[in-house]
Amino acid sequence: MTPHENEFAESFLQGRVLFVDKPLHWTSFDAVNKIKSLLRYRQGIKKIRVGHAGTLDPLATGLLIICTGKATKQIDTYQGMDKTYTGVFVIGQTTPSSDLETTPGEAKPVGHITPGDLEKAAQALTGPQQQTPPLYSAKKINGERAYHHARQGLQTQMKPRDVRVESFEITRVNLPEVHFRITCSKGTYIRSLARDFGDILQTGAYLGALRRTHIGEFSVDNAWKMDDLSEAIIQGNL
């Protein structure tokens, strides 16, 4: 290993914070494991801690903060920051998972829904509130992820928790699609907001698309594409 390679590897052990644009269909752990694998097998770092600061669902894209080495001690700080998302709620239908992991049910009419109705629903979901996590979530129940219970068809009682929606802006409407921008606190499930949005409208709703654009002051505009980051780690040029 050359002096440059030693220095590059050591920088990851001392701690690097990587801003990644998570691809669609990847889990957050897929991204973590990809980076850990590259550091191990391409850079020869046999033992290194790598973790992410806030899960993104496989059907979501956008900003994921990944910390290595001693920087993993900063994960809680990043996790505590507000997050901003853009996406689409589809009203008039529901799914068991509140997104497209499961199949939408029968559609209800939505032509009677007015822009005023949508704004009132958004306002009702703005501010401090108690939110029930979705059944299909990574939240642990008796040591097991809730989605394991849901996929087995088991009935599970999810406990509400305190969250805060700082802002809920409807950016475009093309019924049944409602486009939004939401800034919210740690622990807020956008799929739960979709479910609750549909409940308020009495039409049902599910999350059709989601992208995390910001974590605190950090923007996905400045994040690495996974392929580019992988190549940079392989080349030792990061």
The reply to whether CATH 3.30.2350.10 applies to domain 3-80+219-235 is yes
**Would residue 57 show up in a list of annotated catalytic residues for this protein?**
yes
Q: What are the extents of the domains in the chain?
A: 3-80+219-235, 83-215
pLDDT in tens, 49-61: 999 999 999 999 9
Mean pLDDT lowest among 1-5, 25-29, 234-238: 1-5
pLDDT in tens, 172-192: 999 999 999 999 999 999 999
pLDDT in tens, 8-24: 889 999 999 999 999 99
pLDDT at 1 over 80: no
Q: Report the distance separating Cα 190 and Cα 176, nearest Å.
A: 18
Q: In the prediction, which pLDDT does 137 show?
A: 56
Question: Which residue type, as a one-letter code, is found at position 145?
Answer: R
Q: Average pLDDT of the chain?
A: 91
**Is the CA virtual torsion 208, 77, 214, 17 positive or negative?**
negative
CB atoms within 10 A of CB 82: 17
**CATH superfamily membership of 83-215:** Pseudouridine synthase (3.30.2350.10)
Cis peptide, bond prior to residue 176, ω within 30 of zero: yes
pLDDT at 124 over 70: yes
160 burial level (CB within 10 Å; 0-12, 13-18, 19+): exposed
Q: Report the distance separating Cα 27 and Cα 228, nearest Å.
A: 18
Residue of 21, 30, 57, 196 with catalytic role = 57
pLDDT at 140 over 70: no
